[in-house]
Amino acid sequence: MVIDFEVLSNFCQVCHTREKKKLPFTPEWQQAHSPRCNKNFNGTASAMESEAACRLWRRSTTLGLRYTTFVGDGDSSTYKAVKDLNPYDVPVVKEECVNHVSKRLGTRLRKLKKELSTSITTKTGKEVRRSVLGGAGQLTDKVIDTMTSYYGRAVRGDPKKPYSDTNEMSTAIWASYLHAISTDEEPRHHFCPASADSWCFFRRADFNPDEPRRKHSQKPGYFSKIPKKNRIHITKVYTDLTSRDLLSKCLKGRTQNAMKVYTARFGRRSQNTSLLGNVESTTPCRWSPSSTTSAFMTPTPGTPWLWNVTFQVKQPCHP
Ligand SMILES: [Zn+2]
Ligand SMILES: [Zn+2]
């Protein structure tokens, strides 16, 4: 449910065309145009986002709400603006959008592959740089995409059985990594889920004694062919992306996707649909209305704080 929005734009097609045609901006013309002018902000896109956020946070209390959680995508300038605004007597806490976090593994692995390069001489005597992680059986695009999707799944977890702490999430992520480096000589499935319907063929076999355990060599793990001395860099990426600090901001599994419909509606009207809010999580205090909608539609003046609201910032994303 959208509870508030702010549309800012630093561009107006009519003004732009007039400028291009070198027509004068007379006071009469400006007066007639101003009610329809789309430009209502002077500044950069990131300044626009911060400004829109501050406007929304500033007026939240007039709706009987306070937005105590900020779900963002890692770019901290807007959050910093809200934090500096310090709108309430309780802090505004930042959470990460899990869909954005999910994509970080791919970004990091691609960067790593690009950076870890060595100079080689081709048959024609030309010096070229090649990634030490490139080539068949190594860090191919397919491997990166697959491992990124496993990382994302581990971060999101099972919505029916949410993680109780960051350790559980961390274990799930490391399971995907260790499973992928496993070989017949060195099976590393101790973190993989132990059940008859586990996604891990190795642990599944523990519960299905009649089924022969598949050999690793039949279908090698995605990272298993990468030499250990190179794999160390990938391990470092996983260590960074399982930090307690990062995972604690993902525990509630929130995303920015709830805004999708609204952005689509306003996207055409303005180039910069800036900020939208919705009630993602509600913690009723003192008074429990029968439905969230009524709480929003009829904020009760004078009633003590009704809801703690999660507020989502920025454009929608896709898992
Ligand atoms: Zn205009
Ligand atoms: Zn496994």
Structure-token pair, residue 260:
């999708």
d(CA 176, CA 99): 17
d(CA 158, CA 5): 31
Distance 24 CA to ligand 1 centre (A): 13
So what's the pLDDT on residue 208?
Answer: 86
Distance 74 CA to ligand 1 centre (A): 33
Distance 175 CA to ligand 2 centre (A): 7
d(CA 6, CA 61): 16
Displacement of CA 63 from its chain's centroid (Å): 28
Structure-token pair, residue 268:
């055409």
Residues 6+ apart with CB under 8 A from 154: 169, 172, 173, 175, 176
Distance 17 CA to ligand 1 centre (A): 9
The bound ligand whose nearest atom lies closest to the alpha carbon of 203 is: 2
Distance 263 CA to ligand 1 centre (A): 22
Distance 197 CA to ligand 2 centre (A): 12
**Across the chain, what does the average pLDDT equal?**
76
- Residues 273, 263 contacting (CB under 8 angstroms): yes
Strand ranges (E), the chain = 2-7, 65-72, 93-96, 117-121, 127-131, 273-278, 307-312
- Whether the pLDDT of residue 260 is over 70: the answer is no
Distance 188 CA to ligand 2 centre (A): 7
Q: CB count, 10 Å around CB of 260?
A: 15
- Whether the pLDDT of residue 22 is over 90: the answer is yes
So what's the pLDDT on residue 47?
Answer: 81
- Residues 284, 307 contacting (CB under 8 angstroms): yes
Residue 74 identity (one-letter amino acid): G
pLDDT tens profile 23-79: 999 999 999 999 888 888 888 876 877 888 888 888 888 877 777 777 776 667 888
The bound ligand whose nearest atom lies closest to the alpha carbon of 12 is: 1
d(CA 94, CA 71): 6
Residues 6+ apart with CB under 8 A from 144: 105, 106, 109, 110, 113
Structure-token pair, residue 179:
């499973």
The pLDDT confidence band at residue 298, using thresholds 50, 70 and 90, is very low
Task: Name which of 234, 295, 269, 278 is nearest 105 in CA terms.
Answer: 234
The SS3 of residue 273 is: strand
The bound ligand whose nearest atom lies closest to the alpha carbon of 195 is: 2
Considering only 114-128, 193-207, 277-291, which range has the smallest mean pLDDT? 277-291
Q: What percent of the chain has pLDDT over 70?
A: 76
- Residues 101, 246 contacting (CB under 8 angstroms): yes
Tell me which residue has tokens 């973190």. 191
The bound ligand whose nearest atom lies closest to the alpha carbon of 14 is: 1
Distance 11 CA to ligand 1 centre (A): 8
Of the ranges 73-77, 156-160, 293-297, 306-310, the best mean pLDDT one: 156-160
DSSP 225: T
Domain boundaries, the chain: 2-10+42-96+254-312, 101-248
Distance 199 CA to ligand 2 centre (A): 8
